[in-house]
Amino acid sequence: MTLYSPGAPNPEGLASAAQARVFEALPEAQSAFFAPGRVNLMGDHIDYLGGVVLPMSLTEGTVLAAEAKARRDEGGLEVWALDASEKALLSSKDLERPLGDWRRRLVAVLAALGLTPETVPFRIAISGTLAGGGLSSSASFALVLARWLRGEGLGEAHDSWSLARILQTVERDHAGVACGLMDPLAIDLGTVDGALRLDCEQGTATPVALGFSEAVFALVHCGVGRRLDDGAYNRVRARLAAALAEEGFSADRLPPQGARVRAAPLRHVQSEQARVWAGCEALAAGDAAAFGALMDASHGSLAEDYGVSLPELDRLTALARGLPGVHGARLTGAGFGGWAQLLVELDAWPELHRTFAAKGFPKAFIATPGGAPRALPLGSSHG
Ligand code: GLA
């Protein structure tokens, strides 16, 4: 059985619910763009230490549709943020809004690309299918905007690594989250064939095919959404930096391989990096049992040593581990709620899906690699 057939997924299938919403909002759209979300298959909370991580882009993501303004006197960028049910004519003053406000983040992305909203004479509608936490909705939002702008010939040109550094700064300064580089890279360099091994120190990205014959990754929501701009993410980073310093290591690098570490957060980052390498081997060998065992160990480490799980994520992953057809379960991304990542036998998925719904976890889907940001055809899906 071919589970991940190479080749781009049907464009109409990409975040289709969001496509329907943006084209309904802007039936006369002249251009449309898609940026995927991402699931990190292994290697959480090590990207900001220059670690090697293993994310995969998704067919779920963010969609933007745009219409050029016919006349200059209509003003600059007008945005319909459909998921927030808000419409706004943006201005540079939006940079003064509170941290994390979508208008501030959007204008900050423009500014980082050398633009102001006043100089982008378009009406755009944006919607996404990544809500709930852990699938990188923020980076997807920023990238759909940045890559659509380039498609219109607007803003400075950047390769994926330099754009990721820019977006990392925007996220820190305008959303208050001192994140790493993984999310924008996982999205901008996403492939339709599988995952990516991203070396955040060396600046390299290597495609990694999913070698399983019958197993697939699935995502199940734990029922508790999360926000990172409440400071939780920055707090765990600060705690880690203090532990690194305390044991005499550099504050922004992984402890050297084989170094003896004592503090629990250091045990997590060191063991998580080892699990990424083992996970790459298990993926290449198509060994679902081995990859699943690494996922279980990763969850334990993130929960106990790093302290980023929640009771709901623990309950969901423990439930999953006890069910037939599940190879492993872990939180994915930053933690503190949101989506959990499972490795399951495809044949078992319909029954598993029913069981999760019956136990209070109805939001679930199979994770399919979604490629990189790209223009969407306007064709039959609108108008
Ligand atoms: C968030 C951050 C990433 C990364 C993950 C945890 O998604 O944006 O940079 O640190 O958490 O792996």
pLDDT digits (tens, 9 = 90+) for 230-274: 789 999 999 999 999 999 999 999 999 899 999 999 999 999 999
Decide: 141 in ligand 1 pocket, CB within 6 A: no
Instruction: Please tell me the CATH code under which domain 11-203 is placed.
Output: 3.30.230.10
209-366: which CATH topology?
Answer: Alpha-Beta Plaits (3.30.70)
Decide: 188 in ligand 1 pocket, CB within 6 A: no
Between CA 127 and CA 126, with CA 218 as vertex, the angle to 5 degrees is 5
DSSP reduced 3-state for 313: helix
Indicate where the chain has its CATH 3.30.70.890 domain(s).
209-366
Instruction: Record the tokens describing residue 311, joined without a space.
Output: 């009771």
Q: Measure 134 CA to ligand 1 centroid, in angstroms.
A: 8
Q: Which DSSP string corresponds to 224-277?
A: ----STTTHHHHHHHHHHHHHHHTT--TTSPPPTT----SHHHHHHHHHHHHHH
Query: Which atom of ligand 1 is nearest the CA belonging to 44?
Result: 12
Query: Which atom of ligand 1 is nearest the CA belonging to 177?
Result: 8
Query: Please, what sign has the CA dihedral across residues 23, 26, 32, 34?
Result: negative
What pLDDT was estimated at residue 72? 75
Whether 183 sits among the annotated catalytic residues: the reply is yes
Decide: 44 in ligand 1 pocket, CB within 6 A: yes
Closest CA to 333 of 18, 46, 15: 46
**Average pLDDT of the residues of the chain:** 95
Evaluate if residue 3 carries a pLDDT over 70.
Answer: no
What pLDDT was estimated at residue 1? 38
Decide: 183 in ligand 1 pocket, CB within 6 A: yes
State the pLDDT confidence band at 352, using cuts at 50, 70 and 90.
very high
Distance, CA of 305 to CA of 297 (rounded, Å): 11
Give the HSE-up count for residue 57: Cα atoms under 13 Å, Cβ half-sphere: 30
Angle between helical axes of 102-112 and 137-151 (0-180°, round to 10): 40
Evaluate if residue 383 carries a pLDDT over 50.
Answer: no
State the pLDDT confidence band at 379, using cuts at 50, 70 and 90.
low
Between CA 292 and CA 205, with CA 261 as vertex, the angle to 5 degrees is 50
Whose C-alpha lies nearest to ligand 1, atom 8?
179
Residue given tokens 């754009």 in the structure block: 163
Instruction: Record the tokens describing residue 54, joined without a space.
Output: 């293993």
DSSP reduced 3-state for 345: strand
Decide: 272 in ligand 1 pocket, CB within 6 A: no
Segment holding 150, helix H or strand E: helix 137-151
Whose C-alpha lies nearest to ligand 1, atom 2?
179
Which of the residues 183, 287, 296, 305 is marked catalytic?
183
Indicate where the chain has its CATH 3.30.230.10 domain(s).
11-203
Evaluate if residue 6 carries a pLDDT over 80.
Answer: no
State the pLDDT confidence band at 70, using cuts at 50, 70 and 90.
confident
pLDDT in tens, 91-142: 999 999 999 899 999 999 999 999 999 999 999 999 999 999 999 999 999 9
